[in-house]
Structure 1
């Protein structure tokens, strides 16, 4: 599961470029958000998206 820290996000859109099925940049706020169903995105792709974030605003948690 992925979350975006709105206080750290600068809306670069890198996450949405790397994992477009998991993230998008909200047109109103200019910040990234997790899309519905984003948790079903390939974990490796989510990891790449998190690493692409210039501010480290994306946190990943494993579901147990």
Structure 2
């Protein structure tokens, strides 16, 4: 599960960089792509935070 969340986190960062620099999208299409990749990034970050190992002590 954590490996999948890490993969999603990395993929969303790379996708966001691609959309913002290389895709050539503009206007609403770029905003929609950035919002989607940002939602995946935030979701995977929250999932990783919720599944973190906690030290007892």
Determine if the TM-score, normalized by the shorter chain, exceeds 0.5.
Answer: no
Rg: which structure is higher? 2
* Structure with greater strand percent: 1
* Structure with greater helix percent: 2
Identify which of structures 1 and 2 has the higher relative contact order when contacts are C-alpha pairs closer than 8 Å and 6+ apart.
2
